[in-house]
Structure 1
Amino acid sequence: MVLTLRGFKIHKELLDPTAQEALVEALRNVLKAAPLFRPDTPYGKPMSVRMTAAGTYGWFSDKSGYKYIPAHPNGQPWPEIPSQVLSIWDSVTGLERRPECCLINYYGPDAKMGMHRDHDEADFQWPVVSISLGDAALFRIGNTTRGGKTESIWLQSGDVVVMGGDARLCYHGVDRIRAGSSTLLPKGGRINLTLRVVD
């Protein structure tokens, strides 16, 4: 089932439990090569999520601002994006162009993500694809400018969101996590994969 909310196409339960487990298994090697880290915001405050990445680029934040970088903070190149992840991109976008970054965010029970939009990429014609694994997250969708009315939806494990077209530059965020709502991750929490064309 595909829901459309303010131009965001939300593929509910696109990934069945077997596909979710296979995806988590594929991510284990990525996390071994590129361990999770907690970046600082430009204001010097640590983010509540931990993150890493796969692909040509990873996303990073520190006092100098938000940016894409070609290597993990430990100096190692980012590992390749797993084929299972790329297959999801292919199925929901139908594009020949593939993402150069798979941002991996881990949300603990108290983590959240403030309202933001993805605008550090070179060309906004390409969509952003978001994959949810683990505990449910209350996803808030806003407007192309800050402020105004917003709408929210619970994203469950296996849901995939496509942000493209007029929705590509809409503000969005995660208000809270419903801890314990999924047994997919042995230690609980939520993993969010965000696929982006960078160049």
Structure 2
Amino acid sequence: MESFGSIECFVRSAEGGSFAEAARHLSLTPAAVGKSVAKLEARLGVRLFQRSTRRLTLTEAGKRFLAEVSDSLITIQNAVANLASAEGRPVGTLKVSMGTVFGNRYVMPLLGEFVRRFPDISPDWHFDNRQVDLIGQGFDAAIGGGFELPQGVVARKLTPAHRVLVASSNYLAQRLPVLAPEDLARCLGILECQYRQAQ
């Protein structure tokens, strides 16, 4: 199992381009990942990475080794996950995308309890205010709204999102009233003109 852990550290470091990125994915410290990869290199008798202060680069031996072990690593991880799932407990990495504000305000406070309740799940949570390619980028789930879902993706409503439009009383006193969403285009056009004149 120690060799398996070292190989996983190597693969994640190669994919992420750094020990720090691999450590984040594996819930380890960068030092622990670096030490594990160094042990693997010593065991194999070859250097797998060229190291610099900014990035890791695979050596030719590292590229060959990565090509040979990547698929096998996925197969082993799936076998372990399936066995654990058969025992009735969820296991593996849970990769989720969500908006920054929503994630920090509503999801991060739940992280401690989530990890205690599901110790075999490694949260890989991405906070980003953009739509992601769920399948292409390997996400298990995404929390968001206001975009179309690709075919085959299942959605469930979590909660309504309310938006409030505000403006200063000064601004409103100098403009025609905004009574419908279409009126916003007029306001935005005025703001754009004022911005150009200020340039």
Normalising by the smaller structure, the TM-score range is under 0.3
TM-score with structure 1 setting the length: 0.24
Relative to the length of structure 2, the TM-score reads 0.24
Higher RCO (C-alpha 8 Å, min separation 6): 1
Q: Which has the larger radius of gyration?
A: 2
Which structure has greater strand proportion?
A: 1
Q: Name the structure where helix makes up a greater proportion of residues.
A: 2
